[in-house]
Structure 1
């Protein structure tokens, strides 16, 4: 008799799904792969807005991730009603994302997702992960570092 593996799911979330959330998604994917628990997780990322649907992650984020040896394989998409019904966690980057998600989740029957700021898991207590879109490479590095801290802590607390 085969034992069924319990799968948890996390959706990383930001405004456009080209900067912060794909970085968080790739970081978390690497952490679960390194911990050899990738078969226990479903990981994705999405956006509030429709601005960037179909786009690749921002080239500065891709450059940052390559520097750290992390692969990014993501095409921007918008959050769906099904995401609220199928993901265990939706982790967003700032208060604006949180407000948008809570408003959308109120319109979904059977919302099972726990919606919270990814920064609530930061051991350094930096609650907000600022959007680096209008910034420079250093800002993307800051997002990466925050995502590593938060995702490590989230993974430790969630399994």
Structure 2
């Protein structure tokens, strides 16, 4: 696993631009909420730690990871944030549904990055088991939400 020997929550604050002047969007899937809420908390904590102002962070919830693309597109058009973090969790089941949801979600977020000038950060866990998702949403591997927030800050700075 790519994250096996990496803590997703570790960053060097001295290398991160100050986020105080940026506006961020966070679009969160309600599916697997025990995972996505942990990811969102990790993202919020990192944004605030790096200077973001809570009033400049907009959160929207969508039913599932598949709906992240649409929710993110609408947020770009309505609020014009400097960067958006799309948060979801898809866990392998017994059918090919996992493959379709993961592929469509990744493609959709990629398409938003190509079409709009607002960077969209892919913070969608695609794990084989619930334990793997727990380990990456605040567990033994840290928090992918933290890593996504740092990417959002860097990309917002790149765009300004």
Higher share in helix: 2
TM-score by length of 2: 0.46
Query: What TM-score, normalized to structure 1?
Result: 0.46
Bigger relative contact order (CA 8 A; separation at least 6):
2
